[in-house]
Structures are given as C-alpha cells and as structure tokens.
C-alpha cells in the first residue's frame, strides 16, 4: 500500500535516504520534472534543472500498515530511535482534526491503481505540470453530485472520474477529477479527450435533468392514455403554466375549470375541462412527477411559460425508446395498439439487459510503468490493476418500451412502420454533404457500427424536428387487417403479437 507523506521543503532527498532505512518501507516515489532555467549572467542558455512536481510531498510504499505504524508516533510522525527523522516527515491526511493513528493511516493511504494513474499523469504532463494538481477535495462528495465518466482515448484511456468546471485566474476550465487516497487529482483541459458516462449521478443539479425528462415522458404518456392522444404535450404545458401560479393541485383545478367556462367554443372548453378531470384522477406516482416538474420549472413571474415549448415539444409519436409505456399493456401480453388521429401506435415492452451488459465491456488499462517507482523487472507495475467497475441496475431498470407508428401507404402496397428519433435525426438531415461525411467517419472511428449502418442504409422520414425517424414497409397488409386481428386478440387473448412483423426495424429482445 502507498502512503502520502509530508516533509519539510527542500529536504526531500535527505528524508528519502532516512526513510528507506526504516524496516517495512520498500520504495519511495518522489516525482520530479525537467525544467529549462532562464539564462542569466552565471548560467548558460539551455541549462536545465529537475524540480519537484509537488514540493515537500513523498509517496511511500510499505509492506503493511501494521509495520509502518510501529515507526509512527500518535500524531503520525516518523521516529528514528527517540528522535524524529530528518525533515520531520509525517503522514499527510486530508485534514488535521484530532484522530487516531489508524484513521490517519487510512486517510493517507493510496491504492496501487490510484498511484499508477497519478504516475501516468505526471509522465504525460511532464512538459505542462500546471495541468495536473493534487487538491484537497473529497472525491466521494464530487462523485455523489456528478456523473462518473471514463476517458476513452489518449494517454489517460480507461481512467474513471468526474468532470467539473473550475475557474482559475479568471479563466474557465473543464477539469477531470480522480481519487488519490483521500485527495483528488485535478487534470486540466479535459476537452482534448473523448469521454463516456459510466454511471449517472443520483443527486445534485445534473441528476435533475434526466429525471425531468423521465417525468415529462411519463406524464405525456399518461395524458395520451387518458384524453389527449395527439395533444398531450400541449396539455401538460397548459397544466404546468397554471400550476406554477398556485400552491396546490386543487387550486390548479379551480383555475382550469374557470378558464373552461370562459372559452368561446365547446371544443376548447371541453379540452381544458378534461385537464381538470385528469388532475382529479391522479395517482400518487403521477402526482409526485407533476410536483417535481413544478419545482423544476417554477418561476415567480410565470416566465417559465415561454420555455415550456422547448422542454415539452409537441410530439404525437413518442421517442423510439422510453422508460414508461403510457398506455397500459394488454393483460398477460407485452404489447398494445393505441389509435391516434393519423396513425396507430404500437407499444411493446423490451428487456435491454443484454444490451447494457455489452456496454459494460469497458477498455482495460495497460499497466506498463516506465517511471521510477515500484515495478517489476519486465517493466510492469506490481499488484493487480482493475478494470473500471461496471454499474449494476435492478432488473426492472432494464425494461423499456418501443413506440412504432403504423399507417397505410398511399398506394395501398402495405403499412409504413416508423420509429421516431426526433431532433437528432432531423439535425443530421440538415447537415451539408461534407459535414455528414465527417460525422459518419467519426461514428466509424468510435465503433458505432449499428448507428452508422442505420444512417447510411435506413429509410429516413424527416417531417420536422419532432417527427424524424426510420421507416420500413410491411408489404401486402393494411392497417384495418392489423386492427381486426388485434381486436380479436383482445377478446380471445390469443394471437401472434403484431409487432413480430416489424421486428427487423426494432432489433431488441422482447
């Protein structure tokens, strides 16, 4: 186990010689970098020196904490006979509040993997050591409120940590933080490298964004299933605009009913009145989601109304994959057909456990260590290097729902099936030929082969930013035949699920 040790400035070399005589200490790592000295009257041009990366800090490798403790006093200082060793070396925990020696040993300890990563950073940043610093932040606190990320390219490939924007000397910089015992290492200019999200944070401001999207999708689905098959997003925006003005659901209902009475047409009045009825029928889960959205979008002057169309856009066909079905599936089945004004929506349940497991095959870390320190004769770091730990979900979190739009083709040759990729595919279709080629080459380079295949071989229907997706033709059948079979299935509870006919469009296990 490695331990971080503090000593007096400019006495590091003497301290190293002293500590290496202590039984149980096998190695000491003192990172230094080569630096050119500025020319003056006594120095020639090109003169160099070696300076410490961090003055007064050493990394000590001991066989065990028990052996090391025999050479420490109660405050964590090393002993030499009855006198302290040269340079006053002592354990360097993150804080100096009174604690036991065992606690100080634990807080000053550094795992082999963390030490290896730090050595790699020192080696790679030797010419720019300002890019790497040890900071006294608690890594556990950072991890709690930020997504866990992995660097996927460059010299730090395989490193896991969090990204946070910091401001130094008036300049904003996105930095990568990873653990080094009780400390953090801060790596600057992380934009140079590609990263992937390994695990989303469950707390903090960033965690609210995916949760907000889930709540919006969940409530849009519930509104579609109730009364608003094609206008659910608009209904949710209207409800939130009124809910933002009051404190309770009951007050929101009263405002909606008052508005319904004042509207000029029966259709408009009925639409708003149904929103009030829907609020009255809310279950605990829907109510909690609505309250969460109200907190997220709340503004004193109700100016949030202008932002709601961007956050909750009009979209009659929901995105290809969602975490909730909206419309209840048939009892004993894993699918349902839901009619809209211009198409019929097929919703079916899929289990993506195998897909997630394939994504967990993260890159391993090469363990060759070319710096001075604890390494074997063949140049490899002693001890086992672990892969990044894959995250684990409960079984229900692997369940998603596929949404497929179905409508008759105008020439009567079959049924068109469409999955909606929305804004992503719409933006892709707006690219120039040169931009599109560069984007596709980047996909290939990063190994997104299936996405590349879809974009180059798939049939795209691009209506607008909210309805843009891939289509395929189900030949020699019409929608009325599908619906007739479905109606019989509802009555008899026995039929081959209609989604089998478009399985090649949605290649996920049921």
For residues 190 and 164, is the Cβ–Cβ distance under 8 A?
no
Round to whole Å and give the CA distance between 162 and 177: 5
Q: Two tokens at 55?
A: 């003055």
- DSSP code, position 500: G
In 3D, which of 232, 223, 238, 219 has the Cα closest to residue 278?
223
What DSSP string runs through 229-240?
TTTHHHHHHHHH
CB burial of 175-198 (b: ≥16 within 10 Å; e: otherwise) equals: bbbbbbbbbbbbbbebeebebeeb
Q: Please count the other Cβ atoms lying within 10 Å of the Cβ belonging to residue 204.
A: 12
How do beta strands 321-322 and 399-408 pair?
antiparallel
Q: Please count the other Cβ atoms lying within 10 Å of the Cβ belonging to residue 150.
A: 19
Tell me which residue has tokens 């605009």.
241
In 3D, which of 136, 147, 148 has the Cα closest to residue 182?
136
Radius of gyration (C-alpha) of the chain in whole angstroms: 31
Q: Is the dihedral of CA 375, 376, 378, 383 positive or negative?
A: negative
Question: Which stretches of the chain score pLDDT less than 50?
Answer: 82, 84-86, 362-375, 379-390, 494-510
Alpha-carbon separation of residue 402 from 136, 337, 344, 489 (angstroms): 46, 12, 14, 20
Domain boundaries, the chain: 2-110, 113-199, 206-311, 321-382+395-502
Q: Please count the other Cβ atoms lying within 10 Å of the Cβ belonging to residue 53.
A: 18
Q: Two tokens at 271?
A: 């639409």
Round to whole Å and give the CA distance between 372 and 28: 9
Alpha-carbon separation of residue 499 from 280, 351, 355, 502 (angstroms): 34, 15, 20, 6
- DSSP code, position 108: H
Q: Is the dihedral of CA 238, 240, 246, 251 positive or negative?
A: positive
Q: Is the dihedral of CA 190, 191, 193, 195 positive or negative?
A: positive
For residues 85 and 15, is the Cβ–Cβ distance under 8 A?
yes
How do beta strands 160-168 and 171-180 pair?
antiparallel
Round to whole Å and give the CA distance between 147 and 201: 5
Round to whole Å and give the CA distance between 439 and 194: 15
């Amino acid at each position: 186990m490695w331990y971080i040790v503090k000593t007096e400035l400019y006495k590091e070399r003497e301290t190293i010689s002293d500590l290496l005589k202590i039984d149980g200490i096998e190695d000491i790592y003192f990172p230094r970098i080569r630096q050119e000295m500025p020319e003056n009257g006594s120095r020639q041009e090109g003169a160099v020196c070696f300076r410490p990366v961090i003055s007064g800090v050493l990394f000590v490798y001991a066989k065990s904490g028990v052996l090391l403790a025999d050479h420490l006093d109660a405050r964590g200082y090393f002993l030499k006979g009855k006198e302290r060793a040269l340079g006053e070396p002592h354990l360097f925990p993150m804080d100096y509040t009174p604690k036991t020696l065992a606690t100080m040993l634990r807080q000053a300890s550094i795992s082999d993997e963390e030490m290896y990563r730090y050595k790699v950073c020192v080696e790679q940043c030797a010419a720019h050591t300002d890019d790497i610093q040890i900071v006294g932040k608690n890594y556990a606190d950072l991890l709690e409120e930020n997504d866990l990320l992995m660097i996927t390219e460059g010299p730090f490939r395989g490193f896991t940590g969090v990204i946070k924007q910091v401001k130094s000397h008036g300049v904003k910089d996105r930095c990568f933080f990873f653990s080094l015992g009780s400390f953090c290492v801060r790596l600057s200019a992380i934009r140079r490298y590609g990263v992937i999200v390994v695990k989303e944070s469950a707390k903090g401001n960033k965690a609210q964004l995916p949760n907000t999207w889930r709540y919006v999708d969940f409530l849009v689905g519930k509104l579609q299933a109730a009364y608003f098959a094609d206008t659910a997003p608009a209904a949710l925006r209207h409800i939130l605009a009124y809910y933002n003005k009051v404190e309770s659901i009951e007050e929101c209902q009263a405002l909606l009913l008052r508005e319904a009475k004042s509207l000029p047409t029966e259709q408009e009045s009925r639409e708003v009145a149904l929103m009030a009825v829907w609020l009255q029928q809310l279950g605990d889960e829907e109510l909690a989601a609505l309250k969460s959205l109200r907190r997220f979008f709340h503004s004193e002057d109700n100016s949030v109304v202008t932002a709601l169309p961007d956050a909750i856009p009009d979209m009659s066909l929901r995105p290809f994959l969602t975490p909730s079905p909206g419309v209840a599936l048939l009892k004993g089945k894993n699918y349902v057909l839901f009619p809209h004004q211009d198409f019929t929506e097929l919703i079916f349940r899929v289990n993506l456990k195998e897909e997630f497991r394939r994504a967990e095959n993260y890159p391993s870390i090469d363990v060759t260590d070319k710096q001075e320190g604890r390494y074997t004769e063949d140049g490899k770091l002693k001890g086992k290097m672990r892969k990044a730990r894959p995250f684990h979900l409960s079984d229900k979190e692997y369940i998603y729902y596929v949404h497929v739009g179905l409508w008759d083709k105008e020439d009567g040759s079959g049924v068109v099936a469409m999955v909606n990729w929305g804004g992503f595919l719409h933006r892709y279709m707006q690219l120039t030929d040169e931009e599109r080629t560069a984007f596709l080459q980047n996909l290939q380079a990063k190994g997104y082969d299936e996405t590349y295949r879809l974009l180059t071989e798939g049939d795209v229907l691009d209506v607008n930013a909210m309805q843009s997706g891939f289509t395929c033709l189900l030949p020699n059948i019409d929608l009325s035949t599908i619906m007739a079979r479905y109606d019989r299935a509802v009555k008899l509870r026995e039929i081959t699920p209609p989604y089998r006919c478009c399985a090649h469009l949605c290649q996920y296990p049921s």
